[in-house]
Amino acid sequence: MRKQIAAANWKMNLTLQQGEQLLEDIISLPHQLNENQEAVFAVPAPYLMMAQQKLRGKEYLSVAAQNCYSKKSGAYTGEISVDMLSSIGVYYVVLGHSERREYFNESNSFLADKINICLLNNITPIFCCGEPLEIREAGTQNEYVAKQLQESLYHLNADQLLKIVIAYEPIWAIGTGKTASSAQAQEMHAAIRKQLESKYGKETAECISILYGGSVKGSNAAEIFVQPDVDGGLVGGASLVAEEFVAIMNALKK
Q: What is the pLDDT of residues 220-240, one digit of tens each?
A: 999 999 999 999 999 999 999
Cα angle vertex 189, ends 184, 191, to 5°? 95
| List of domains in the chain | 4-250 (3.20.20.70)
Bridge partners, 5 (sequence order): 38, 232
Cα torsion through 12, 16, 21, 23, rounded to 10: 60
> What's at 84, amino acid-wise?
M
Q: What is residue 3's DSSP assignment?
A: P
- Residue 152 pLDDT > 80: yes
Confidence category of residue 64, pLDDT binned at 50, 70, 90? very high
Report the C-alpha gap between 237 and 233 in whole angstroms: 12
Tell me the catalytic residues. Answer: 97, 169
Confidence category of residue 15, pLDDT binned at 50, 70, 90? very high
Q: What is the pLDDT of residues 67-121, one digit of tens each?
A: 999 999 999 999 999 999 999 999 999 999 999 999 999 999 999 999 999 999 9
**Residue 99: phi, psi to the nearest 5?**
-70, -35
> What's at 130, amino acid-wise?
G
pTM of the model: 0.96
HSE on the CB side for 62, CA within 13 Å? Answer: 22
